[in-house]
């Protein structure tokens, strides 16, 4: 049996809660029909009071159509009281950390399944450092956002440490959120006033 055949055989087995056959069928469908890859994700947000706002995430476009999320997703965001907010939600910058964790972790599960590795634990801590003089308008020497983010994964599974590290690295290399947070993207802010 060649390595390639072994890979193909492994691809057909659901693993880590990942429906691996469907994952590969999806990849092949998009390969055949690249227009299926066109996606748009959306949120709508409304100011509540002070620094408190609430977003809804309802529908997205992907795989050739617009789909409504099954869950009812609404999220509050606020500044904490110690930073002169009203403390009615996690801070906006913390949601970036959550998004990064979610994207890297999903990729790890998918890639491990594709490589025939059963995972038993994936946990992570994320730390983002910031000098608040930026957002407070007190300095033009420091940036407004995170000066840096550190993500530390603990990962366990039925593969050698080196293979587990490679899975994390491959997830990083294909992560949508990592890409945006590491490299930035064009943001167009429009105003109807």
Indicate whether 185 belongs to the interface with a copy of itself (CB under 8 A).
yes
Indicate whether 12 belongs to the interface with a copy of itself (CB under 8 A).
no
Indicate whether 13 belongs to the interface with a copy of itself (CB under 8 A).
no
25-64 residues in contact with a copy of itself (CB under 8 A) are 26-27, 30-31, 34, 36-53, 55, 57, 60, 62-63
- Closest C-alpha to 146, from 104, 180, 107, 102: 180
Q: 52-62 and 65-77: which strand pairing?
A: antiparallel
The structure tokens listed for 121 are 């634990």
CB of 128 to a copy of itself, least distance (A): 5
Query: Out of 69, 115, 117, 118, which residue is the one contacting a copy of itself (CB under 8 A)?
Result: 69
What would the x/- binding string for a copy of itself be over residues 161 to 180, using CB under 8 A?
Answer: xx-xx--xx--x-xxxxxxx
Indicate whether 3 belongs to the interface with a copy of itself (CB under 8 A).
no
| 128 Cβ contact partners less than 8 Å away, ≥ 6 residues apart | 93, 96, 97, 146, 148, 149
Q: Distance between CA atoms of 130 and 122, rounded to whole angstroms?
A: 26
CB of 156 to a copy of itself, least distance (A): 8
What would the x/- binding string for a copy of itself be over residues 113 to 132, using CB under 8 A?
Answer: ------x-xxxxxxxxxxxx
Indicate whether 143 belongs to the interface with a copy of itself (CB under 8 A).
yes
Are the C-beta atoms of residues 163 and 117 closer than 8 Å to each other? yes
The enclosing H or E element of 55 equals strand 52-62
Q: Distance between CA atoms of 36 and 99, rounded to whole angstroms?
A: 24
Query: Out of 8, 12, 102, 158, which residue is the one contacting a copy of itself (CB under 8 A)?
Result: 102
Indicate whether 94 belongs to the interface with a copy of itself (CB under 8 A).
yes
Instruction: Please tell me what DSSP assigns to residue 18.
Output: B
């Amino acid at each position: 049996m060649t390595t390639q055949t072994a890979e193909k055989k492994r691809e057909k087995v659901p693993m880590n809660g990942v429906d691996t056959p469907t994952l590969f069928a999806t990849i092949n469908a998009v390969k055949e029909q690249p227009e299926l890859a066109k996606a748009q994700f959306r949120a709508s947000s409304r100011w509540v009071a002070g620094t408190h706002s609430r977003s809804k995430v309802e529908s997205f476009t992907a795989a050739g159509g617009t789909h409504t999320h099954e869950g009812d997703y609404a999220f509050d965001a606020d500044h904490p009281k110690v930073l002169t907010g009203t403390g009615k939600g996690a801070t906006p910058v913390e949601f970036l950390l959550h998004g990064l964790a979610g994207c890297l972790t999903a990729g790890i599960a998918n890639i491990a399944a594709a490589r025939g590795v059963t995972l038993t634990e994936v946990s992570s801590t994320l730390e983002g450092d910031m000098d608040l003089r930026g957002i407070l308008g007190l300095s033009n020497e420091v940036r407004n956002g995170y000066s840096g983010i550190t993500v530390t994964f603990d990962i366990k599974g039925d593969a050698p440490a080196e293979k587990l590290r490679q899975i994390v690295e491959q997830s990083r290399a294909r992560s949508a959120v990592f890409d945006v947070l590491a490299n930035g993207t064009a943001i167009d802010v429009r105003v109807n006033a």
